[in-house]
Amino acid sequence: MKTRAIALTSAIALAAVMAAPAVAQDEMAEPFPEGESPYVPIVSKGFQHQFWQAVRMGAEDKAAELNMEVNFIGPENESQVDKQMEMLQAEYDKDPAAVCFAALDSVAAIPLLEQMQADGIPVIAFDSGVDSDIPVTTAATDNVAAAALAAEKMFEQVGEGAKVGVIVHDQTSRTGIDRTEGFIAKAEELGLEIVGPDFGGGDQLRSTDLAKTMIQGNPDIAGFFGGNEGSAIGVVNAVNELGRDDITVIGYDSGIIQINAIKDGSMYGAVQQNPVGIGAWCVEAAAMALEGMDVPPMIDTGFIWADAETIDDPDVVAVLYE
């Protein structure tokens, strides 16, 4: 099938602000003919955060553009690995044309993905990859680099030798692993002292409790890194509830709660991903694979920094979600 040349979307191009995309894709998939809409389930990590609703919007808009049938699903929260595996199995049983998958556990799904590969079903990883070369591509943020940027921003605020707490969503998904390692490696290189990491499953209440415990055990703590939306909001809640406005909070992603926290000063800033772009790229990559096109092994969807001074800049606003 012929392809059409298009420019990179503005959201993808924003990656150049902080990180160069791994691929500049000039040829994209053609819409499928009427009556030939391939079915592609999109098994996400959850529904509990606004981030995933933004990913869903990007995926569904792209599917409509390409005349594809998609089903965006995920467990109630990001700790339910078994539930996600059940969903993935149920979608495999429907004999899909391709599968988009954001793994809660980078290893657990590999046997099922091997079955898909044997059946000729292209697998597209998005947001959080797997420890395997089975996926045709992975559409995701360079989380190591993005978390390292967060560490650099933290260092600028708290200085060498300061204690910094780290609360991340999990230690099993690729995003959890990469954000934890990326932040800690850069922070220690800069001379910061790490407290943790602790893992709150992306749950705000649990992350709040973890942050409070860290503060109580380390009253001289100077900063916190929250590795996803729920983790970051939990940290902000803990700092506010304990009246510790001397603690610098840096987050990841920005739904409306984090946007407001940055604007009112209770959060210094946050690394912004491109959730709409992540959703769109996973569907685009699935279409490309089904049309027999070459798909790059990695699609870097980019990231950008936002703080009170930049939160209203057009480049930042383009990747925020409420």
Say what the pLDDT of residue 16 is: 33
Beta strand residue intervals within 69-122, DSSP E: 69-73, 99-101
Per-residue pLDDT averaged across 49-74, rounded?
A: 94
Beta strand residue intervals within 33-130, DSSP E: 39-43, 69-73, 99-101, 123-126
Determine which of 27-31, 38-42, 182-186 has the lowest per-residue pLDDT on average: 27-31
Tokens of 224: 């916190």
Tokens of 287: 């279409």
Tokens of 23: 């691929």
At 232, phi and psi to the nearest 5?
-65, -40
Domains of the chain: 4-141+274-302 (3.40.50.2300), 143-272 (3.40.50.2300)
Instruction: Note the Cα 8 to chain centre separation in Å.
Output: 20
User: Alpha-carbon distance 308 to 316, whole Å?
Assistant: 11
Looking at the predicted structure, is the pLDDT value of residue 35 above 80? yes
For the chain, percent of residues with pLDDT exceeding 70 = 92
CB neighbour burial string for 76-105, b if at least 16 within 10 angstroms, e if fewer = ebbbbbeebbebbeebbeeebbbbbbbbbb
Say what the pLDDT of residue 59 is: 96
Q: What are the residues facing 40 on neighbouring strands? A: 70
The three-point CA angle 130-183-80 to 5° equals 40
Tokens of 4: 């059409």
For the chain, percent of residues with pLDDT exceeding 90 = 81
Determine which of 7-21, 137-151, 176-190, 218-232 has the lowest per-residue pLDDT on average: 7-21
Residue 266 CB neighbours (<10 A): 17
User: Alpha-carbon distance 108 to 120, whole Å?
Assistant: 20
At 278, phi and psi to the nearest 5?
-60, -45
Looking at the predicted structure, is the pLDDT value of residue 312 above 70? yes
- pTM (predicted TM-score): 0.83
Q: What are the residues facing 85 on neighbouring strands? A: none
Mean pLDDT of the chain: 90
Say if CB 265 and CB 239 are below 8 A apart.
no
User: Alpha-carbon distance 322 to 304, whole Å?
Assistant: 17
At 194, phi and psi to the nearest 5?
-90, 135
Say if CB 252 and CB 270 are below 8 A apart.
yes
Say what the pLDDT of residue 26 is: 60
pLDDT digits (tens, 9 = 90+) for 244-292: 999 999 999 888 999 999 999 999 999 999 999 999 999 999 999 999 9
Say what the pLDDT of residue 79 is: 85
Tokens of 261: 């926290």
User: Alpha-carbon distance 97 to 39, whole Å?
Assistant: 6
Residue type at 216? Q
pLDDT digits (tens, 9 = 90+) for 64-110: 999 999 999 999 888 899 999 999 999 999 999 999 999 999 899 99
User: Alpha-carbon distance 52 to 276, whole Å?
Assistant: 9
**Of 253, 204, 207, 205, which Cα lies nearest the Cα of 196?**
207
Residue type at 301? T
User: Alpha-carbon distance 18 to 163, whole Å?
Assistant: 26
Per-residue pLDDT averaged across 1-27, rounded?
A: 37
Residue 317 CB neighbours (<10 A): 13
